[in-house]
A and B are shown apart, each in its own frame.
Chain A
Amino acid sequence: MLVELKKICKDYPQGKEMLRVLNEVDLSVEEGEYLAIMGPSGSGKTTLMNVLGFLDLQTSGDYLLNGVSYVEASDNDLAKVRNEEIGFVFQNYYLLPKMSARDNVALPLLYAGVPKKERLARADEALKSVGLEGFEHALPSTLSGGMCQRVAIARAMIAKPKLLLADEPTGALDTVSGSQIMDIFDELNAEGTTIIMITHEPAIAKRAKKTMYIRDGILTAERKEEEEL
């Protein structure tokens, strides 16, 4: 089992009260799975993504990644897990505007201590794999949204993580670009990458092998009527 969530709760303080954003979430994801999680805004899907990506820690419950719990882990250990085991794709790409596509892609390898020459060679290769050969030196501001997201995917995959977490990866894109991104996800999944994707677009969710729904912090396998809207 690659991902195993056991009764995960996440509370946030709201005024004097504590607001429960994730409520006893159980989730098991096998290696090679492609899971979409749908839910309306405020349902807790981004919080779930943050917990899955070790960007945030749960209030209670257990999260095992590859069978290892990181509840007691230090800041630096979590940074290492994020760097080596997980790839992130965000709705707004989050590329560094003053860096070339190649430097953006190579960034995770810099933090992993890979020598420069190897870093850049692997970045070029990653850009090629997302169809951006020839754009190595382009600044993000000169690229289209779809291209930026492809750079972001190349960055997420450069360290060859087992798990790819995508938070509304097509949310800022037109249908054609969105579809191209989904094609890349299909390829990555076919190559063995486990993908967990958050989306509120049913058409995008359909591209995944499996869909789950979250509402008021509760994760279920069935869709409710309102979700159609």
Chain B
Amino acid sequence: MKENIRLSFQGIWSHKMRSFLTMLGIIIGIASIITIVSTIRGTNEQIKQNLIGAGNNAVVVQVYQNDYAMEFQWTQIPEGIKPIDEKMRNHLANIEGAADASLFTSRNYLDGVYYKKTAFNGELYGIDSHYLDIYGYELSYGRGFTDADYERMTKCVLLDQRAASTIFSGANPIGEVLEIRGEPFTVIGVVAMNSSFQPTIESMQDYWMYAETTSGKIFMTNAAWPTVYKYDEPYSVAIQAKTTDDMAKVSQKAGELLTANLIPEELRMSSQISYKGRNLMEDAQQLQQITNSTSQQLIWIASISLLVGGIGVMNIMLVSVTERTREIGLKKAIGARRSRILGQFLTEASVLTTIGGLLGVLAGIIMARLISQFMGIPTAVSVPSIILATAFSMVIGLVFGLLPAVKASKLNPIEALRRE
């Protein structure tokens, strides 16, 4: 075996150009697969990070009907849901694995919000004093909500930076008045996400919004919410988990707790209403599936290159058998068994394709790096895929080298020696 490998390297080295050209198909095939796999992995990793939140670990638990979150913009508020009080909020914040909890209401598709007759169509939140901390917002300028704002239901709002620039395009918004469903709200401050929390996309919806909208978010106190919307609108809960791994557990626990305590049984049974957490991992997996299926098709296409590469290897090995007929004849004459000749040519083919595979892996890593650098697409090279690609290229050598090797091993020594 060692001898065969040594001879194979010798053979490859003595036909450098030919060997390289033969390997090229394998190199291109393996390089493309490594690049594609790295890109998928990178994209998937980013989707997961975007959805899970890069650090805040916040999960939203809200009222669901069947499998859909209820949007109170369009649907009637079901009667009988008990409100979440401060005691319950405290309880939620103390679930095992939870760090904090916030009560809020929201509108994702706004209407009726104007600044000097220009409509704003971003998002509106009615939040408690925990919300901004959980999502990692910090005050950029102006002031935040005070206890007095909550107690007096002051008609004031905070804008995130995007909303500030959308509505006021650079002018100072502090003290300006927005009209929200006919009521005047004064802008008191602008908040921005803590840099370690960016990009922060907390849901599937936000993921698309992030790409589509430039409008931004407006925050008012949840105390002031009933002045523009209905007073009995059930709160959603944002719970911060201690770690990413705790998120699913925490959201499930909170959902069960809220459903059991706040939603009457008949409402649960007849209308299928319950509190549920958005399963962000599932959302992430759904998105990842989209990228995965497109990439799988790409991998199939790249595999064609491997097939063509394999045929190239077979072709060149057949040429090699013909060229070395006399060598084979001599070896058989002086006592080489069939299996040895077979082994020699199989080793040669698989050494050739394995070197091609390794070069392909190298080229793939370089290509992945270049793509992430110049096109801004995240990539992550995975070690298992490298090992798999190398092993696979070795198998290609064995499969496509088999026919030439069998042909060589079956050569009749006298005919082989006679051939000039």
With A50-B414, A55-B414, A107-B331 as given contacts, are A98 and B10 in contact (CB-CB < 8 Å)? yes
One digit per residue, 1 when the CB lies within 8 angstroms of any chain B CB and 0 when it does not, for chain A 70-108 equals: 000001100110111000101000101010000000011
One digit per residue, 1 when the CB lies within 8 angstroms of any chain A CB and 0 when it does not, for chain B 311-335 equals: 0000000000000001101111111
A107:B334 contact, CB within 8 angstroms: yes
Q: How far is the CA of A96 from the CA of B3 in the complex (A)?
A: 15
Interface check B82, CB cutoff 8 A: no
Nearest-Cβ distance from residue B2 to partner chain A, whole angstroms: 9
Nearest-Cβ distance from residue A142 to partner chain B, whole angstroms: 16
Q: Which 6 A-B pairs have the closest CB atoms?
A: A83-B335, A111-B335, A94-B330, A55-B414, A79-B337, A108-B334
In the complex, residue of chain A having the shortest beta-carbon distance to the beta carbon of B413? A55
A residues lining the B interface (CB < 8 Å): 50, 53, 55-56, 75-76, 79-80, 82-84, 88, 90, 94, 96, 98, 107-108, 110-112, 155, 159
The answer, among B10, B329, B336, for a CB contact under 8 Å with A111, is: B336
Interface members, chain B 318-376 (any A CB < 8 Å)? 326-327, 329-340
A-B contact pairs, 16 of them (CB 8 A): A55-B413, A55-B414, A55-B417, A76-B338, A79-B335, A80-B335, A80-B337, A82-B333, A88-B333, A90-B417, A94-B330, A96-B327, A98-B14, A108-B334, A111-B334, A111-B337
Which residues of A lie under 8 Å from residue B333 when comparing CB positions? 53, 55, 82, 88, 94
Which residues of B lie under 8 Å from residue A94 when comparing CB positions? 326, 329-330, 333, 417
B338:A82 contact, CB within 8 angstroms: no
A108:B335 contact, CB within 8 angstroms: yes
Q: How far is the CA of A82 from the CA of B414 in the complex (A)?
A: 13
A79:B417 contact, CB within 8 angstroms: no
A83:B417 contact, CB within 8 angstroms: no
Which residues of A lie under 8 Å from residue B3 when comparing CB positions? 110
- Known contacts A88-B333, A108-B334; 15 additional CB pairs below 8 A are A75-B338, A76-B337, A76-B339, A80-B335, A82-B335, A83-B335, A88-B334, A94-B326, A94-B329, A94-B333, A98-B11, A111-B335, A111-B336, A111-B340, A155-B334
In the complex, residue of chain A having the shortest beta-carbon distance to the beta carbon of B418? A46
Which residues of B lie under 8 Å from residue A108 when comparing CB positions? 334-335
Q: How far is the CA of A105 from the CA of B338 in the complex (A)?
A: 20
In the complex, residue of chain B having the shortest beta-carbon distance to the beta carbon of A50? B414
Q: How far is the CA of A50 from the CA of B14 in the complex (A)?
A: 33
With A50-B414, A55-B413, A55-B414 as given contacts, are A79 and B10 in contact (CB-CB < 8 Å)? no
Interface members, chain B 389-420 (any A CB < 8 Å)? 413-414, 417
Q: How far is the CA of A56 from the CA of B417 in the complex (A)?
A: 12
Q: How far is the CA of A186 from the CA of B140 in the complex (A)?
A: 105
Q: How far is the CA of A53 from the CA of B417 in the complex (A)?
A: 13
Nearest-Cβ distance from residue A100 to partner chain B, whole angstroms: 11
Q: How far is the CA of A76 from the CA of B336 in the complex (A)?
A: 8
Which residues of B lie under 8 Å from residue A79 when comparing CB positions? 332, 335-338
Which residues of B lie under 8 Å from residue A88 when comparing CB positions? 333-334
In the complex, residue of chain B having the shortest beta-carbon distance to the beta carbon of A111? B335
Q: How far is the CA of A111 from the CA of B330 in the complex (A)?
A: 12
In the complex, residue of chain A having the shortest beta-carbon distance to the beta carbon of B330? A94
Q: How far is the CA of A8 from the CA of B336 in the complex (A)?
A: 26
**Which of A88, A112, A159: most chain B CB closer than 10 A?**
A88
One digit per residue, 1 when the CB lies within 8 angstroms of any chain A CB and 0 when it does not, for chain B 217-246 equals: 000000000000000000000000000000
Which residues of A lie under 8 Å from residue B14 when comparing CB positions? 98
In the complex, residue of chain B having the shortest beta-carbon distance to the beta carbon of A93? B330
Interface members, chain B 1-22 (any A CB < 8 Å)? 3, 10-11, 14
Which residues of B lie under 8 Å from residue A80 when comparing CB positions? 335, 337
